Amino acid sequence: MSPIHGASTETNSLLGALSSKRDSTYSSMSEYSGRTSPTNSCRSSVGDSVGSGVGSPVGGEAQGHLSFGVQYVVTSPESNTGKLVITVLEARGLTGREYLGNACDPYVKVVVWKERRSLRKQKSPPLHVFRTRTVRHTQDPTFNQSFVIEAAKSDLKELVVKLVAMDSDKWASPSTVGEVTQPLRDIKNFAGLEERTTLNYFLAPAKLDLGEVLFGLSYLPTAQRLSVSVIKAQNLKHTNVVDDLKDFCPYIRVLLISGSGRVIKKKKTTWRSNTASPIWNETLIFDLAQSQVEHVTFLLVVCTRPQLPVTPTNSDASLQSTETFHDNSLSLAPPDLNSSSLHDQNQNKKQDRYVGKLALGCNVRSNDQRQHWMAIMASPRKVVSQWHGLK
């Protein structure tokens, strides 16, 4: 892909003792207006071609742009050690939330790992995971945050830096906006550069595999009532939220959200224990006037309550389905490297954690979920069931 070039110049002191190094000029992305990327290449601000970073797919639609810098500062020439400085600069044109229009509260995760070459092509675990602060209510955030890693010069060619733009969500797990992966070996003479190398990339959509949920929807116009029949789920990514399947107790939380973003009603299913493919066969009923049908959104969130001592009995089901939740009762869990929900969270195992989510309504961005909603409006009183992947 072609880089975005600008004429602005910036001097940025490195952290602490690193301030003696001179920073290079970097390109601003604020004037960009397009979204489609014709290629997959990038050019650094110091003029070195970088052709192996993984950004937006060829001919695909970018999820926005991300600008970041990398620099290696030698601190001990005798021992051949130094500091790798990763600076998240800014993002521009980030894709808005799946629901609620262009709402976006972005932050960026930085993951560093050592590339391991093996016949099985197994990915190495992360060596370092960082995140920036969250910038509220913008699709064009500026971060200017740096993260420093101790690294031997001989290890640089094996290190890979991955940046993932995330969107915080008050009601569910954060959404992955897009990501870019940059092996340091692909930056020409990286260890010998005295200036910071700044890279500008289109963000590629993340490849998620969080599991699927099968549920049916039915709307009764005369009763002004919508039924959500939660049938089952399969292959839920439980390793993102618990260490052992025996601690995995999934349930589904359903929220009815108004066009202004206010939660009108919340309900949930019962828990299922020790399974990544739970079966519920439960129906949740929501009052919904016909005048609201085109404006509301239903948000389905798969959650888990780890280390639950007992599974709720059938007599508890009615209490669970009408329970009112406190919004701060769910904490966020750190999943694996490729997960959309990798983020900082409260590690208290007694609190519920998010596995994934999906939204349905006339105004959601996903075509499959929007069509499912339109199908029940076109066929009142009929139950329309469909599988949906979690995000």
In the chain, the DSSP E strands lie at 42-43, 49-50, 65-76, 81-92, 106-114, 128-131, 142-152, 159-167, 175-183, 197-202, 212-220, 225-234, 250-257, 263-268, 279-287, 297-304, 330-331, 352-361, 384-389
Look at residue 21 in the predicted model and tell me its pLDDT.
42
Look at residue 324 in the predicted model and tell me its pLDDT.
37
Spatial separation of the C-alpha atoms in residues 282 and 220, rounded to whole Å = 18
Q: What stretches in the chain show pLDDT beneath 70?
A: 1-62, 117-122, 306-350
Spatial separation of the C-alpha atoms in residues 88 and 94, rounded to whole Å = 15
Look at residue 224 in the predicted model and tell me its pLDDT.
92
Look at residue 25 in the predicted model and tell me its pLDDT.
39
Mean pLDDT score of the chain: 76
Look at residue 200 in the predicted model and tell me its pLDDT.
94
pTM, whole model, 2 decimals? 0.70
**Tokens at 390, concatenated:** 């979690």
**Tokens at 156, concatenated:** 């640089």
In 156-196, the DSSP E strands lie at 159-167, 175-183
